[in-house]
Every structure is written in C-alpha cells, then in structure tokens.
Amino acid sequence: MRILIVGSGAREHAIARSFAAEGAGHELIVAPGTAGIAEFARLEPVAANDPAAVAELAVRLGAELVVVGPEAPLVAGVADAVRERGIPVFGPGREAAALEGSKAFAKRIMAAAGVPTGRAVDVRTAGALDAALDSTGSPYVVKADGLAAGKGVLVTGDRDAARAHALQWLEEGPVLVEEFLGGREVSLFFISDGGVVLPLSPAQDFKRLRDGDAGPNTGGMGAYSPLPWLAASFGSEDAFVEQVRETVAAPVIAQLAAEGTPFVGLLYCGLVVDGSGITVIEFNARFGDPETQVVLPRLTSPLSVLLQAAAIGALAGVPAPAFSAGAAVGVVLASAGYPGDPVLGASISGLDEVDALPSVHVDHAATTLDGGTFVASGGRVLTVVGLGADVEAARDAAYQGVDLIRFPGAQHRTDIAAGIR
C-alpha cells in the first residue's frame, strides 16, 4: 500500500517503523518528516497544518491511506480535506478532533456520555476566577481550553501561580479550573472507525522534565508498556482495558456518532487510576508521543490493516490487536533549554553504535543531516527505545542505548520505568 504519514516527530518515525516491520512492501512517505525517518520512508515537504496542501499532496502521490500524526493538522481540518478527495484517512475530522482541541467540548461530551471525569468550572472572565479556585480548592489544576503544545496545564498548590497562569491563558480563550485527581496515570489508545472501538495496550508517560517527577510539564520525557501493576487492582491488563472500553471509549465514540461527528482515528484516553476506579484526565485525538514509541513495537498485528479498516469503516471485520508479552521502554533525549526555548544545533554521534545493539532502536523527533552527522533541530530530539522480556530488561536496554549517544547539552530522565513491577 502507498501510505502517506503526516507529521514529523518520533511518533511518526515509530508509525513508519511499524508499517515497515510488516514486511508487506508498503511504499511509505512522511510529510514533512525529519531526517531520521528517511530510514523507512521518503520525505516530502508540506505545510502539515494546511488542509488544501496536504490533500493536494495525497492526490499527487496517489496515496491509498493517509495517517495524520499530530493534533494541529486534525484540528485545522486536514482529515476532512483528504476525505473529501476520496482518500481513506486515519484521523478525525475537525469537529470530532475538538475532543482534543477544546477541553470544554470534551467535558460536554463526557457529561452527555456519562463518562467519569474531574469536575471542572469553565472560566471565561478574570472576575469568575476566584470563585472557581475556591470551589475546587488546592492543589489547583488550571487548563487552557485550546491546544497549547503541553504548556496549557498547571497543577500547583500556589494560588498566586494558579491565578497568574489562568489570567495569562484567558487572553487566548476560556480556561478550565478542575478538581485535582490523585493516582497513577495511564494512557490507553483505541482505534475507532466511528462505531467499533479496538484497544491497544496501555502505556505510562512521564510528563515532568526531571527525575522524581520534578520540573515543568513537557510533551513527555519517556514511557513504558505494558503496565504490570494494573493486574494488582484489576485482575489483569485485559480486565482493565475492557473496563475502559466499556465505561469510557465506547460511550464517547457513540456520543460523537450520535451528534453527527463520528470519530475515525485514534482515541487517546488519558486516565487516572486510583484503586480500581478510573477517571478521565484528558482525551487526545491522535497517537501519544512518546507512548506510541513503546506501544507499537509490541504490536504483533499488522498496523496498516487496523488503520486502513478504521479509515474505511470496516473495523468490525478485523481481529482485536495482539501484543507481544515483552516490554518496551522509551527514553526521550531533549535539547538544552527544553521545554522553554530549546538550544538547537547540537551534533549527535553514537547512533551507529546504538544500531548495533539487538534490542534498541532510536526514533527521531527533530533531526537534520549535516554531511553524515545528525544535528538536533527541535526540543524533543530522540526517543531511545529498548525492548526486553520484562520492563526491567527493556529499561536496561534503553539506557544502554542512551549511554552510547553523545549529544552535548542533552537532557534526559534517568528514572523512566524505574522500579516498575
């Protein structure tokens, strides 16, 4: 199949890697991509957030399937534009992507579908802010309503900081003040064709910049899959996944279909698990990054079959995705200064040595090639992925890879998936 992947991160590298691993001879094009992805795919320049430009490219290439990686193109209507040209596309249209594009919209859908989530107050003016903060109390959770590239959420016990964050984001649009939810976070992905939902295997993301969950929130500094500890509360991973499917994913997909905005694509359920209770923290309308880099290497079913069936409304005939019993751990290497103003241009070496390791590979998020050398061109730059029989073995493999990479000024966490049982 000729497949066009829209986006440029380590997630898109992982998606291309999975398609290539099928050994089915797919022709892969990533637009705009990043240098490292050329290992599996041809790169094409495109303005990824421009619906007409992406649709034009898909037509020109004769793409048989388009997979949209990031949220911004989805919220901009890229999937709608491609679908209008008669090309199967994995990714929701603009209206359904509002599940990620507007936190207030997501709350409304959850309320209508009876899905458990934190109580939230929709704040539209500075005058309404104090009453909202009083109603939830400390710790305060303040969220920008719209897309904010991981910078819109502040969780703090400091009321002045909560107020300042809310006032800053009120200049852009509404703000949500939400009840604090304690517990462990789980990311669980569902593939949907608008009606049927099929689960992938759960992962956990490490959102804070520094070890011990210190420092600012980021797009994600590492992840692992599966989550062996789910069995203690839910009996098994399967029982957990089924509970999320039944109480969260299926009702939300049904609600969107009933409103005439069917969700075709990847429903990312960001959950908090407390004992045997499950609460939704957020939805995303696309594969998570870096979770995808640890979930897809464990997928043993062909990814293209799943995504194409979703795109054409034929998931009912597809077996549930299967996963290896082994584990994957991903460690993100980011440029100095990330998540604020990253310092670009560091030369990266040692990647050939990592390639020689049997259980490690590297997904590129932001690299360019200068001569034969990779150069960092963004905030998050690489995800080093280790595979193993269990989380500990996978973690050892990942850090063995990290240790071989020379990347001046790079930041990474040393405690990704540490002590997980």
Site of interaction with ligand GLY (CB under 6 A) = 205, 220, 284, 288-289, 291
Q: Least distance (Å) from ligand GLY to the CB of residue 205?
A: 4
Binding status of residue 166 toward ligand AMP by CB under 6 A: no
Which is it for the CA torsion 169, 284, 386, 184, positive or negative?
A: positive
| 291 part of the interface to ligand AMP, by CB under 6 A | no
Measured CA to CA, the distance from residue 119 to residue 327 in angstroms comes to: 35
Residue in 151, 11, 2 with CA at minimum distance from that of residue 69: 11
- The span from the CA of 418 to the CA of 421, in Å, is 9
* Structure token digits, residue 129: 């802010």
Q: Which residue has the tokens 């793409």?
A: 63
Residue 56, SS3 per DSSP: helix
Q: Which among 51-59, 178-186, 248-256, 410-418 is the span making contact with ligand AMP, rule CB under 6 A?
A: 178-186
Return the H-helix or E-strand segment holding 99: helix 94-101
Residue 289 interface partner, choices ligand AMP, ligand GLY, none, CB cut-off 5-8 Å depending on type: ligand GLY
141 binds, among ligand AMP, ligand GLY, none (CB under 5 to 8 A by kind): ligand AMP
| Segments in 137-290 forming alpha helices (H) | 159-170, 230-234, 237-244, 250-258
Binds 175, which of ligand AMP, ligand GLY, none (CB < 5 to 8 A, cut-off by type)? none
Q: In Å, how far from its chain's centre is CA 239?
A: 23
- Per-position x/- string for 125-154, each x denoting binding to ligand AMP as judged by CB under 6 A, each - no binding: ----------------x-x---------x-
Strands 373-376 and 264-274, by their bridges, are unpaired
Q: Pick what 380 binds: ligand AMP, ligand GLY, none; C-beta below 5 to 8 Å, kind-dependent.
A: none
For ligand GLY, the closer CB: 83 or 207: 207
Tell which one of 95, 282, 289, 363 touches ligand AMP (CB under 6 A). 282
Please say whether the beta carbons of 9 and 69 come within 8 A. yes
Site for ligand AMP in 321-340 (CB under 6 A): none
- For 236, counting Cβ atoms within 10 Å of its Cβ (0-12 exposed, 13-18 middle, 19+ buried), the class is exposed
Q: Is 270 in the site for ligand AMP (CB under 6 A)?
A: yes
Residue nearer to ligand AMP on the CB measure, 141 or 200: 141
Figure out which of the listed residues 20, 35, 113, 155 binds ligand AMP, where binding follows CB under 6 A: 155
Q: Which is nearer to ligand AMP, 249 or 309 (CB)?
A: 249
**Does 231 contact ligand AMP by CB under 6 A?**
no
Could you say which of 13, 207, 245, 298 contacts ligand AMP (CB under 6 A)?
Answer: 207
H helices within 259-409, ranges in order?
A: 291-295, 303-311, 351-355, 391-404
By the criterion CB under 6 A, which residues form the site for ligand AMP? 118, 141, 143, 153, 155, 178, 180-181, 185, 207, 217, 270, 281-282
